[in-house]
Amino acid sequence: MLSETKNITWSDFQALSPEEKKPYFSEKGKLFHCLHSQQFDREFIDHIYKLTNVIRSISKSKKGALFLQGLMPHYKAMLYFMQPSTRTYLSFRTACQILGIQTSDVRDASISSEVKGETFEDTIRTFSSYFNFIIMRHPKEGYAEQAAYCLNNSERPIPILNAGSGKDQHPTQAILDIYTLRRSFEHHGGLEGKTILLAGDLLRGRTVRSLSKLISFFPGTKLILSSPEKFKMGDDIIAYLDNKNVDYEISHEFIKHLPSADAIYMTRVQDEHDTESDKSEKSFPEFSLRAEHLSILKEHCAIMHPLPRREELDSAIDNDPRAKYWRQERNGMWARAALMSHITGYDQKIISYWSDLCKQANHTADI
């Protein structure tokens, strides 16, 4: 289906709904570009969850780590990050290292030919000449999609992995967030039926926007969308939740919801999206999780944050067993390694290797 974008103009392509675009980002019915969370379904999420666990387990031994590193040493990835990043950049780079993928990066537009007037499309086409993946973060919405469209209409389409686009999407963060939630509730009945409190800048927080869509695959799960009025969740996400019959509550209060939450997902004010005429507050004290709140939280509550944080998440919470955000950070490299192995088809070799290990150890391969 990749080549079929040649039959549609960019403006007409932009007018399509995410569901209508989905086939153009797949090849032979399988994920090729990873651009937005609407591309995923429960079967995919379950597969990535299992695959992530398998990769983690295999990597614990030297022999297993060397097996993983030997999978794709002939692959190269461009890390094209036009926005500041620590965790997403490092976790993608480390994920590539886990699989033996070589990496290069461009993290500053001032050192690329874009300063000479090169078009975005020509930059992307140049990367496709040298690399097998483009992992990109861009401050403008839709640029990852535009890159995918550009390469679909070239003689060398390669996967585009969206590492964050403007205020809109962060699909790989949503994958690792769902993974973290499921791991957190492994011994508490699973994610189904849980109450998830999303708090902070929900309007511009691309992590919570993408995560909200994946929550719809887990029956009985409720979202509490807690934010200041000016940063309430966007109407497009609300419409999506309505369409998927997700139980949610919109609230401009925070503390009162803490006792009922099975998971709390904190976000900072996304003031990098401010304009000169519209400056945001750096934080909202009434939407901050403090150490003194720990006593009213559920014993199994999972506290998460995509980081970086400010005053909205007290560092005094860090050593509480319910604090999952450092695990969440580490989960990123494993989940992204699973995603890349799935896109390339090497996930089947990984599963077969794990199955053989389990047979040798005389136990089940289920994880």
Sort strands 133-138 and 222-226 into parallel, antiparallel or unpaired. Answer: unpaired
Does 86 qualify as catalytic in the annotation? no
Does 195 qualify as catalytic in the annotation? no
- The one catalytic residue among 47, 76, 87, 300: 87
Q: What is the pLDDT of residue 140?
A: 85
Structure tokens at 204: 């511009």
- The one catalytic residue among 36, 137, 167, 213: 137
In 82-221, which ranges are E strands?
Answer: 102-106, 133-138, 160-165, 195-199
Q: Is residue 323 within 8 Å of residue 346, measured between CB atoms?
A: no
Q: What is the pLDDT of residue 68?
A: 98
- The one catalytic residue among 88, 195, 221, 267: 88
Q: What is the pLDDT of residue 18?
A: 82
The model's pLDDT over 192-236, given as tens digits with 9 standing for 90+, comes to 999 999 999 998 888 899 999 999 999 999 999 999 898 899 999
The model's pLDDT over 276-323, given as tens digits with 9 standing for 90+, comes to 545 556 667 888 999 999 999 999 999 999 988 878 899 999 999 999
The values of phi and psi at residue 163, to 5°, are -100, 20
Closest-CA residue to 182 (of 60, 30, 62, 49) = 49
| Regions in the chain scoring below 70 on pLDDT | 1-4, 6, 109-116, 270-283, 363-367
What CA–CA distances, in Å, run from 35 to 20, 39, 40, 69, 231? 14, 8, 10, 26, 24
Closest-CA residue to 173 (of 212, 116, 122) = 212
Angle (CA) 316-318-322 rounded to 5° is 115
- The one catalytic residue among 28, 60, 74, 116: 116
Say how far apart CA 160 and CA 149 lie, in whole Å: 10
Q: Kindly report whether the peptide bond that precedes residue 308 is cis, defined as omega within 30 degrees of 0.
A: yes
- The one catalytic residue among 170, 183, 206, 213: 170
Does 116 qualify as catalytic in the annotation? yes
Q: Is residue 163 within 8 Å of residue 140, measured between CB atoms?
A: no
Does 42 qualify as catalytic in the annotation? no
pTM: 0.91
Does 88 qualify as catalytic in the annotation? yes
